[in-house]
Amino acid sequence: EIVLTQSPDTLSLSPGERVTLSCRASQTVARNFLAWYQQKRGQPPRLLIYGASSRATGVPGRFSAGGSGTDFSLTIDGLDPEDFAVYYCQQYDNSPLTFGGGTRVEIK
């Protein structure tokens, strides 16, 4: 099983700031089958990124992502008030599919 570790647990930031979230895998995520989701309270996760770096339909350009192998990152360039949420990474390369523990981005 691929274990995904996200860091940090929580970030306190102001609107307009740039933030980078980290996701580290316990073994190589082959084919770069790594996704990022955003989740707001009371809602299911929303797919932001697939294939490690491709934005899903409708995702704003301020979201970018990259990485390969075991180290991946998600960057939000200029936080919008609607971006304050919890972010999860997920690998869909190997069964069982697994998620990271999440990073909460909160308003400072």
The yes or no reply on residue 99 touching other proteins (CB under 8 A) is yes
Among residues 1, 17, 71, 106, the one that binds other proteins under rule CB under 8 A: 1
**Tokens, residue 44:** 């299911």
β-strand pairing of 46-50 with 63-68: unpaired
Count helices and strands (H / E) in the chain: 0, 11
Window 2-41: contact mask with other proteins (x via CB under 8 A): -------------------------------x-x-x----
Q: Per CB under 8 A, which of residues 48..67 are in contact with other proteins?
A: 50, 56
Q: Which is nearer to other proteins, 13 or 99 (CB)?
A: 99
Q: How far is CA 100 from CA 15, 25, 41, 66, in A?
A: 25, 9, 17, 16
Side-chain-side CA neighbours of 14 within 13 Å: the count stands at: 1
47 binds other proteins (CB under 8 A): yes
One-letter amino acid identity for 23?
A: C
Interface residues with other proteins (CB under 8 A) are: 1, 33, 35, 37, 43-45, 47, 50, 56, 88, 90, 92, 95-102
